[in-house]
Structure 1
Amino acid sequence: MTQPSPPSSKQRVLALVVARRGDDIADVLASIEPQVYEVEDVVVIADRRPDSAAEAAGPKTARRLSEALDMVDGQVDYLWMLDSRTTARPDALAALIETAESLEASVVGSKVLDSDQPDRLLSVGGPTDVFGFPYTGLERGEIDQEQFDVIRDVAFLEPASLLVRRDLAEGLGGLDHTLPYLSFGLDICQRARVVGGRVVVTPGSEVFSRSSGAQRPTTWREQAGRLRTMLKTYSLVTLLWVLPALFLVGLATWLYRLAKGVLTGPVDWIRTWAWNLLYLPSTLQARRRAPTTSMESDAELFRFQVRGSLELREIAAELGALLGAGAEQEAPDDRASPAFWQRPDFITTVLGVALVLVLTRSIIAEGLPAIGYVLPLAESAWDTLRAYAGGWHPGGLGSPEPMHPSVGATAAIQFLLGGGGGAAGILTVGAVASGVAGMVALIRRLGLSRGARLVAGAVFIAGFPALWLAGEGYWPGLLALGGLPWSLAGVAGPDPETGRGWMGRLGRVGFATAASAAFVPLSIVIPVFFGLVWAVVARRSRPLVVGAAGSVLALPVLLPWLSGRGLADVLSSGAPFHPDPSWWVAIPLLAAGTVAAAVARGHPLSVAVAGVVIGSVGFLVARAGSLGAGQETTAAGLIAAAAGAALVVAGALDAPASLGIDVSLLRTATAYAAMAAAILVGLTTLIAAPAGRMGLPDDRFAAFAFASSRAEAHGPDRVLLTGPAETLPGQHRVLPDGTPYRLIGGVLDYPQAWLPEARLGDEVLEETLVGLIGGEELRPGELLARFGIRWVAASGPSPIADALSAQLDMRPLAGLFVGDSAGVWENDVPAYRAMTDQGVAWSWVAPDYAGRSSGGSVRIAENADHRWGPGAWQQDGWANRVPAEAGVATFGGVGSFRFQARAAAVIVILLVGLSLVRARREAEDEPV
């Protein structure tokens, strides 16, 4: 390097060594002594001054800048600030002085190289975002090839070596010793800019320092330091919008890091703001001492800042890499490039997000339609969780039987989302997005291209199996798609090298399996089956072990629902699905799978074979309704078929690329035929795009709002609903003559979608309806009132609707219809679910009843169970009677079910914790 010539007029320089706790300053002092440009004196800035003997033997020591200046004879023109970990080349100071004098710069910084690897760059200054987050523009481990050797204005300099005009430093009120390393440099640069000073970096001045780690800017101390700097340098107008934005960006960033396994994220975010609140008085005092800020000074700062948040850009880049490259990607660069949108991984992310938005845009804008099992969540998530944990099942005339696991899962998510009414839509869109991202991650881990990953994700969440579930209104099936591919990705992933890594892997597989099984319980076996198939295809046994472990770990999520049913009941209960794909979907998918399995090589061959096996078995299970398979079994079969179809398409798309130049033209052409078939299958996913609600049919149950709009003071009463089976919400019961019917509790919500086994009251209701159809009763209203049925609604042709045309005490409501035909009838007889001896109605406040306290008792029109109370319980026919003096009637709960539900919740929380366990990162340097 050419040694710069000293300026003509000698400028006096004071070297200030900013000592950090525990650092040895001998090296930095030794590098000051041989400088070509001599310093007037050297002063160490340290929190503690040494004793007299040590100070006499070593350099001068001061705690503040003012003390340091007092120790020097005469005035100095510049302060050369060196970090205690810095060593400088002999010509470093001369280059700084020459640049400062020639450019009239107020602050000049050096090029910083790695002391352990002297040819590696650590910092050459750079811009920041509006929040002060630095952008170095360097790749990790970038070699110094003089590519940045140009003097330029910057917003930020690392304080390894800074030359600052003495009058500027004094005018700014001195140095801020409360700030950590990076924020210390930012503070000096920002305050210099505010007063119109010029901040530049000169590559002719080279110093060496130890790397502080890629994560150093994200530590809470640096975050807190940047916030303090903003409070001192920005005008009040700018702070009014910057501080709320920083609050939200910080919250999002720390939550994201929490999801990555940085468990201290939220705590550090709180510490950032708490530290600034603690030091707010001194911050305000420093702001008053500093020159007046204004919009003009802000504009000067904005000139050297990039738009937006660099931290959010990093997150977006990492998410893009996750979608495009899976979890085992290489670590990101030290700083995200502002041009991250040009990366292939980000393009894949944008296309994936666009796909999700197109398929769910109506759900986002208008909410979910009410159809099939797609029903509104209960008003109170907490009360639903109470009922789920061993409480009263609200389906039909009620039961102590445990509710479906999806009821507890949706209520828990609703509770975590704040209990808002939009939780169902958020959950649906989130499941679709998670399904796409998970399948992309799975296909990446299986070694296929970005195009194959994205198309496979589309086929998984919008192929014919998923659309069949949506067409049937089976909402839990759509939600189960969100967790399954992440489970399979964990099964197929590489084996960790440490026990900690194995803990995290099993935790993630278990949690992802639980996230799927909570909605479709029998999908819990799919990871085991996939592990078996992949173990055979990949010729290694670990996938089977991991899949089995994940299923076992996820098993508690099915409690207490599973303990209340036998295996035979789980396999056979509920109306099965009968999927029948169109030929223009089935034939291309079959062709893609068989041809790819026959001609592909390498990874595409393995993926295609696994997809053919899993998809074929899944489809056969989905079609096993004629063999006695029930709803849960066939739903799990459809989900397995969706996963198999995605794998087949991915393998077929990459089949041509797997062939070398040594294959025949016929084989190559056949591989391209498989690829074309896979593209056709991918195009079929656009069927759901026009409506924008994931293939769900139009809203059918909004008309049930009449039960609420016409309710009396005690709230909505029960509705007896009849009509064709496909027009009824959730599950239904069937009379001996095949007439479908079911009860709903006035306000139709998701917990009522599932019906428990029929009990005494349900049997009596069935007998009553059989008599009504047979014409045995001309005044059915009085009989139905005993069940709390105020309304009868027919969503289509039904023998019950025909029988009501000849009765006397059920009044038809002209002009009110539910469905395509039939009508609605109102009971002329008071029909209350709970009524006292005095005829006063009580309200259903799920899962309890509440009303005016009185003497006597209250009749509860729920299936008889001795756990109703408080007080002495009596059976009233098929119903319950309890004392009315408490003004409330509650179900005492089933202790074993309550324990199982709580244990399941604890295990899920433990799985979440395990899933966050990652390999330990390299320890970071402690802040100043």
Structure 2
Amino acid sequence: MSVHSQSTAPYAAAAAPEFPRHVVTAVLVSHDGARWLPDVLAGLLGQERPVQDVVAADTGSADDSARLVTEALGAERVLHLARRTSFGTAVDEAVRTVGELTPDDLPYLKRPSGWDPVTRSWRDDAYDLPELPHGEPVQWLWLLHDDCAPEPDALAEMLRVVDTDHHAAIVGPKLRGWYDRRQLLEVGVSIANSGRRWTGLDRREQDQGQHDQVRTVLSVSSAGMLIRRDVWEELGGFDRRLPLMRDDVDLCWRAHAAGHRVLVAPDAILRHAEASARERRPIDCAGRFVASPHRVDKAGAVYTMLVNARGKMLPWVLLRLVLGTLLRTLAYLVGKVPGQALDEVAGLFGTLLRPGRIFAARRRRGSGVVDPAELRGLFPPPGATVRATFEQVAGNFGSGSDADSGGSRHGAVESGPGGDDADFLEIEQFARLKRIGRKPGPVLFAVLLLVSLVACRDLLGGGALAGGALLPAPADVSDLWGRYADGWHPIGTGGTQTAPPYLAVLSALSALFLGSTGFALTLLLVCSVPLAGLTAYFVSRPLLESRLLRAWASIAYAFLPAATGALATGRLGTAVLAILLPLIARAAVSAYGIRHGGYARGSWRATWAYTLLLTLTMAFTPVVWPLAVVLGIGVLALRRDEITAYGLRFLATIGTPLLVLAPWSVSLLGNPSSFLKEAGLEFGTGTASALDLLGISPGGPKAAGGLLLLGIVLAALAALMRGERRFAVRAAWVVALVALVFAGLTNGSGWAGPATLVYGIALIVAALVGADGARVRVAELSFGWRQPVAALIALAAVLAPALAAAGWMIGGAAGPLERRDPVQVPAFVAEESSTRDQPRTLVLDGTSPASVSYALVRGSGARLGDAELAESGGSNSHLDKVVANLVAGSGADQGSQLSGFAIRYVLVRDGAPREMSRVLDATPGLSRLSQLDGSALWRVDRQIARIMIVPPGAGSEQLPVGSQPVEAHSKIPAGGSGRVLRIADAADSGWQATLNGRALTGKTVDGWAQGFELPAEGGSLDLTYETPITHTAWIWAQAALGVVLLVLALPGRRREIDDDLPEESVTVPAEPVAGEGRRARRLRAAAQAEAAAEDDGEDGEQLPEEEGEYDPARQTTDPYAQQPDDGDPYAPQGETQDPYAPQGDDGRYASVPQQQQYGDWDAQQYRNADYAQYQGEQQPTAADPYQQGAAPVYDPYGYPQQQYDQGQGQYDQGQGQYDQNQGQYEQGLYNPYEQGAYDPQAQYDQQAPYDPQHPDENPAPVQNPWPTGNASRGESE
């Protein structure tokens, strides 16, 4: 029968249901939902308060959805629409084809006739009743998805709410998970300004009644939404521009604006599978192709916000949407899910690029009758979405899953011992210490931090960290970044040399601490020892499980002489290497697939992590790059069978740092000796002896001698004698020997600290592997020389780091490094250097008159990075000649030569030869000013400025021009022709000058300085340095490469785990426990009993002796899986797989899932079964009679209601057979609410179906459950 066919069957009289005034029409939309429809239809047809009418719309389902709804509801009540029909369109079509039921269609709404069939007389009391005793009927639409199953009392609870609150126009239920029936999905929903769907629930939050309050909400889900029909028609239904998602939020938002109320009824419960959102089926209604749910949801969110936001809030909403989309796109890219990043962008611009639709929708909505301020409380509170975002990010990038940490997905958490377990509790006085011993990582870091703070007591306080190899850091992070990114560096006479890349890394770190460069330096230096120990502890986990040995190894590594010596001498590069070296070693091992037992397959993510760490470390200590090259070549030699795969990894690891750090890295290749240097000044080179290097000591201040750590070396040598795990020990020794060679090479020209760090960590790894289980192995040997020697080596190895830590803590960490004023010149000189003249200071130092060093200082002194910039820029030969003449004491006036370099002051450091001061005193044009802390200061007796106007005559007076450190914007007077604008900076093509907007011609002055030809006129002078576009482009490219490398190295976003799946039961066998206590004896007995049971099971399988006995071997997580030999007429004949499991070979969900075939069911067995009133929670394996093609339909209002009799209609629990002596219906008095009543305490007997031999006890098959008529015109008879 088609949906448009005419039926002449009369609608029988019916008893009044609960809440009779409310007439409910259920609208069910199906689309490839055959796997959920059995439960959905069972819930719909099994409502305690049935609906008055129902209509279904199937949108081109490719499975059995259309057949299921047709068999359950009748062909005349099913619409067949196109596959691309949206949910809102399907509901509109269904509502249009079904008419409103009037009192003529529902006789119980009218006044009774007054005829009493018992007394066969007329009763007069009926005449006093009004024509409509229950009041004017209220028409409702109950919208249902094909994946949401209502509980039996869901409709009754929602009608109870609307019957109490007459202003309610839309009511929604509480949504729970499909399988996890205690998991809350929604109890009302809202939307944030960023478009985020907001439920106010935590992930996997369990329903404990915490949200069971009827309240006003912004929106309820369209799954189970109960809406007044007049309100539906007033609002025009769902917006056709929202094909699937966010249509409910838009509809309810419009209802609020129109003055209606939207409530949530938490006592009404629906189970929702969220099939489209969880990608359990494709979305075909959002375009010509299958769409991603993320993109559909994003587009719906943007559209909903833009069309419903009030006028003055629209710009703010648009800005929030764009910025939020940008941030989420970046987050998805970092999480390595480019598909969702593309969905974010496509969803946003797919809506914004159609402004006509947005403006048309805003015109249709109008201004509304409700003040938007009244709805403010229905939106998420400020900051709530930010907190949820951080929690989501933490969860996405977390290393563990919730399932791992939280146990079973649906399982309960044991709150504590009870019953018998309480008898075995012990009161342990040292429980807290034992808990600390199980997780010593944080405690270890705290101890190391305390030791470090005590040792660095003189390095804490005011001032800047400086001394040794460290120069003071700039006060502002922008200044530090400028020293790296600027095209012109005002160091000495200026230049365009390449800045060291560690400045960029330090700038990024300082930005994390609100731009405090001093705090970033303090963190890297003062906390380098505890941070090194912490990283060493955590990366040692794969080596062995003993926390005690790992703690010893981390302490020994943290107090290596190279680490403490780097802190004392301000060697920033070695300090950073000490922190990152354990991470580098761990990443390298994973990248090359090296395991202690041999080889494994390396991962590309570990390769990129190794590359990122190597790049960061190379920026501070370049020596790690040649070390990585040599060791990588050795690994390739070992893995020559897979040379192609690991050759690519090697090239990526070695080539990427050179690319990212170019052109600085290219300069290292041109001068290989530069690889042996590190960040900062050259300080204390070649001080370690051969014994020091063998004893892991690079020498220098605060670096313990080599003899102290010989115990670690001996322990590493003893590890070579171990029979097992030889590969790990030998690999560690190969690394140690290579690093020792590099240490010897470095010791001649620089500090061997970085190489000795690698040497030391390799020896510690060898000793650590050798110590694992050493006590047991030594104890198994007969007593001899091995035991005393092993004890002495162990004692020396343990005492070495302890003594090093004690000596470092007592003596203090301060050495050349100290806290002091960063100003390196007298205060008034520093103040004067920042004026418009920009004067400079020549600082002289040396050990003898024949060996003099100098520095041209700008401002208050040199800062971090200036040493490398000055070295790479080279010296100025003209300035070398001026300084040589000045120190030599030629007797000539040196003022003119010094003024050419803008030198106003000459400072001689304390410790310089006395002859130098006597020469300067006798030099004409210099005036001695003062002597402070052994340093003497002279002033040049001339007009000094960085920019001067030089007239054409030789004897004419020069005119100073105000300027900044690089640029100048000043007024200059008119003068004669032939003037030259002279700048005391090196000549370069990037200098540009304009006078009144006209470009000036550049020239080189005095063979090195930049100059410009000035016309006779005066005006506004603008001097700038134009950074080459290639330099700026490469800085951006470096930043982009760094971000890409970071993204590749970070762990990917965790795959979204569907947390509403069938629970897999995992049986954990009992294990015997050593000990003689009562609890240990009990556990051993349980383990023995299980072992005996397994032995019996091997001889022969034990089957249940009685019907219905639980057999774990016969259970499955699939509620529709076949139970062997149990006679279940609803089990499919064959498949027992998880209905939500991937259907395709590629592990993804198929577009059309496999469905159980109704033709295989035993229809004859349940031919006359009818629907029983459901009084408990729905069971997934419950028999659903409507699924049978021959199942009769019923009329819920065709018979008078009778009270439920607890003594009738039940199954006999003992035999599992229906008791024919009880529950017999009188002939002609069929009660659909009594037959087959569900008893939650009774045992379901699958072998005892309804007796087909008594058809007279079952309802007639011609009964129809719904009033029939022409659905297209809404007629009924």
Trace 1:377-776 onto structure 2 (pairs within 5 A): 394-398=490-494, 402-406=498-502, 422=516, 442-443=539-540, 464-478=561-575, 487-493=584-590, 506-529=607-630, 531=632, 545=647, 546-547=649-650, 549-561=652-664, 563-564=666-667, 566-570=670-674, 577=685, 578=687, 579-580=698-699, 582=702, 591-592=711-712, 594-595=714-715, 598=718, 614=735, 618=739, 621-622=742-743, 624=745, 627=748, 629-630=749-750, 634=751, 637-642=752-757, 645=760, 664=779, 680=802, 697-704=818-825, 706-707=828-829, 709-711=831-833, 714-723=836-845, 737-746=850-859, 748-754=862-868, 756=870, 762-776=876-890
Trace 1:300-311 onto structure 2 (pairs within 5 A): 309-311=387-389
Alpha-carbon distance in structure 1 between the residues aligned to 2:800 and 2:265: 58
Alpha-carbon distance in structure 1 between the residues aligned to 2:602 and 2:1054: 9
Is the aligned partner of 1:73 residue 2:73?
no
Q: Could you say if the C-alpha distance between residues 220 and 682 of structure 1 is closer, same or farther in structure 2, counting changes exceeding 3 Å?
A: farther
Per-residue deviation at 1:811? Answer: 3.8
Select 1:788's aligned residue among 902, 908, 924.
902
Per-residue deviation at 1:710? Answer: 1.2
Alpha-carbon distance in structure 2 between the residues aligned to 1:276 and 1:455: 60
Is the aligned partner of 1:375 residue 2:440?
no
Q: Report if aligned partners of 1:865, 1:880 keep a CA contact under 8 Å in 2.
A: yes
Q: Could you say if the C-alpha distance between residues 811 and 429 of structure 1 is closer, same or farther in structure 2, counting changes exceeding 3 Å?
A: same
Counterpart of 1:798 in structure 2 is 912
Select 2:224's aligned residue among 135, 158, 162.
162
Alpha-carbon distance in structure 2 between the residues aligned to 1:687 and 1:248: 50
Q: Which amino acid aligns with 1:829?
A: R
Counterpart of 1:730 in structure 2 is none
Q: Report if aligned partners of 1:7, 1:98 keep a CA contact under 8 Å in 2.
A: no
Counterpart of 2:335 in structure 1 is 260
Larger Rg: 2
Q: Report if aligned partners of 2:605, 2:1051 keep a CA contact under 8 Å in 1.
A: yes
Secondary structure at 1:97 match in 2: helix
Counterpart of 1:109 in structure 2 is 174
Q: Report if aligned partners of 1:79, 1:165 keep a CA contact under 8 Å in 2.
A: yes
Select 1:153's aligned residue among 196, 209, 212.
212
Q: Which amino acid aligns with 1:16?
A: V
Q: Report if aligned partners of 1:383, 1:847 keep a CA contact under 8 Å in 2.
A: no
Secondary structure at 1:491 match in 2: helix
Select 1:857's aligned residue among 956, 973, 980.
980
TM value normalised by structure 2 = 0.52
Q: Which amino acid aligns with 1:702?
A: V
Alpha-carbon distance in structure 2 between the residues aligned to 1:189 and 1:456: 63
Q: Which amino acid aligns with 1:825?
A: W
Per-residue deviation at 1:550? Answer: 0.8
Secondary structure at 2:856 match in 1: strand
TM value normalised by structure 1 = 0.68
Q: Which amino acid aligns with 2:959?
A: V
Alpha-carbon distance in structure 1 between the residues aligned to 2:396 and 2:222: 29
Pairs aligned (count): 864
Per-residue deviation at 1:212? Answer: 0.6
Q: Which amino acid aligns with 1:570?
A: S
Secondary structure at 2:492 match in 1: coil
Counterpart of 1:876 in structure 2 is 1006
Secondary structure at 2:394 match in 1: helix
Q: Report if aligned partners of 1:786, 1:861 keep a CA contact under 8 Å in 2.
A: yes
Per-residue deviation at 1:524? Answer: 1.9
Q: Write out per-residue CA displacement over residues 739-783 of structure 1, whole angstroms, 9 at most, x where no aligned residue.
A: 443112336444532255699974454454444445444754444
Alpha-carbon distance in structure 1 between the residues aligned to 2:1150 and 2:961: 65
Alpha-carbon distance in structure 2 between the residues aligned to 1:490 and 1:773: 54
Q: Could you say if the C-alpha distance between residues 812 and 148 of structure 1 is closer, same or farther in structure 2, counting changes exceeding 3 Å?
A: same
Q: Which amino acid aligns with 1:164?
A: L
Q: Which amino acid aligns with 1:63?
A: T
Q: Could you say if the C-alpha distance between residues 893 and 26 of structure 1 is closer, same or farther in structure 2, counting changes exceeding 3 Å?
A: closer
Select 1:298's aligned residue among 365, 368, 377.
377
Q: Report if aligned partners of 1:717, 1:745 keep a CA contact under 8 Å in 2.
A: yes
Secondary structure at 2:26 match in 1: strand
Alpha-carbon distance in structure 2 between the residues aligned to 1:379 and 1:170: 59
Alpha-carbon distance in structure 2 between the residues aligned to 1:760 and 1:209: 69
Alpha-carbon distance in structure 1 between the residues aligned to 2:460 and 2:374: 39
Q: Report if aligned partners of 2:539, 2:586 keep a CA contact under 8 Å in 1.
A: yes
Per-residue deviation at 1:610? Answer: 6.0
Per-residue deviation at 1:369? Answer: 4.0
Per-residue deviation at 1:810? Answer: 3.3
Per-residue deviation at 1:878? Answer: 5.5
Alpha-carbon distance in structure 1 between the residues aligned to 2:145 and 2:54: 16
Alpha-carbon distance in structure 1 between the residues aligned to 2:247 and 2:534: 40
Which has the higher mean CA deviation after the structures are superposed, 34-43 or 262-271? 262-271
Q: Report if aligned partners of 1:435, 1:461 keep a CA contact under 8 Å in 2.
A: yes
Per-residue deviation at 1:488? Answer: 4.2
Alpha-carbon distance in structure 1 between the residues aligned to 2:908 and 2:1045: 46
Q: Report if aligned partners of 1:445, 1:493 keep a CA contact under 8 Å in 2.
A: no
Q: Write out per-residue CA displacement over residues 143-200 of structure 1, whole angstroms, 9 at most, x where no aligned residue.
A: xxxx969896399999584353648986996667767877567789999999684442
Alpha-carbon distance in structure 2 between the residues aligned to 1:344 and 1:161: 52
Secondary structure at 2:910 match in 1: coil
Q: Report if aligned partners of 1:836, 1:859 keep a CA contact under 8 Å in 2.
A: yes
Q: Report if aligned partners of 1:482, 1:515 keep a CA contact under 8 Å in 2.
A: no
Q: Which amino acid aligns with 1:785?
A: S
Q: Which amino acid aligns with 1:516?
A: T
Counterpart of 1:51 in structure 2 is none
Per-residue deviation at 1:312? Answer: 0.9
Structure 1: gaps spanning 5 or more residues:
1-5, 48-53, 725-733
Counterpart of 2:1118 in structure 1 is none
Which has the higher mean CA deviation after the structures are superposed, 589-598 or 191-200? 191-200
Q: Report if aligned partners of 1:652, 1:674 keep a CA contact under 8 Å in 2.
A: no
Q: Could you say if the C-alpha distance between residues 759 and 532 of structure 1 is closer, same or farther in structure 2, counting changes exceeding 3 Å?
A: closer
Q: Report if aligned partners of 1:868, 1:889 keep a CA contact under 8 Å in 2.
A: yes
Seq. identity, %: 19
Trace 1:330-345 onto structure 2 (pairs within 5 A): none
Q: Report if aligned partners of 2:622, 2:676 keep a CA contact under 8 Å in 1.
A: no
Counterpart of 2:1137 in structure 1 is none
Q: Report if aligned partners of 2:844, 2:908 keep a CA contact under 8 Å in 1.
A: yes
Alpha-carbon distance in structure 2 between the residues aligned to 1:619 and 1:346: 34
Counterpart of 2:959 in structure 1 is 840
Which has the higher mean CA deviation after the structures are superposed, 637-646 or 710-719? 637-646
Which has the higher mean CA deviation after the structures are superposed, 345-354 or 202-211? 345-354
Q: Could you say if the C-alpha distance between residues 719 and 271 of structure 1 is closer, same or farther in structure 2, counting changes exceeding 3 Å?
A: farther
Is the aligned partner of 1:212 residue 2:275?
no
Alpha-carbon distance in structure 2 between the residues aligned to 1:268 and 1:461: 47
Q: Write out per-residue CA displacement over residues 467-508 of structure 1, whole angstroms, 9 at most, x where no aligned residue.
A: 533443344555667776665444222579xxx996655554
Alpha-carbon distance in structure 2 between the residues aligned to 1:537 and 1:876: 61
Q: Report if aligned partners of 1:235, 1:293 keep a CA contact under 8 Å in 2.
A: yes
Alpha-carbon distance in structure 2 between the residues aligned to 1:778 and 1:243: 73
Secondary structure at 1:787 match in 2: coil
Q: Could you say if the C-alpha distance between residues 477 and 899 of structure 1 is closer, same or farther in structure 2, counting changes exceeding 3 Å?
A: farther
Alpha-carbon distance in structure 1 between the residues aligned to 2:551 and 2:324: 29
Q: Write out per-residue CA displacement over residues 701-729 of structure 1, whole angstroms, 9 at most, x where no aligned residue.
A: 335464552147544222212358xxxxx
Secondary structure at 2:25 match in 1: strand
Alpha-carbon distance in structure 2 between the residues aligned to 1:202 and 1:677: 70
Q: Report if aligned partners of 2:569, 2:816 keep a CA contact under 8 Å in 1.
A: no
Counterpart of 1:50 in structure 2 is none
Q: Which amino acid aligns with 1:113?
A: W
Structure 2: gaps spanning 5 or more residues:
1-15, 61-74, 82-86, 102-136, 165-170, 281-290, 414-434, 594-600, 688-697, 781-786, 952-957, 993-999, 1056-1146, 1152-1277
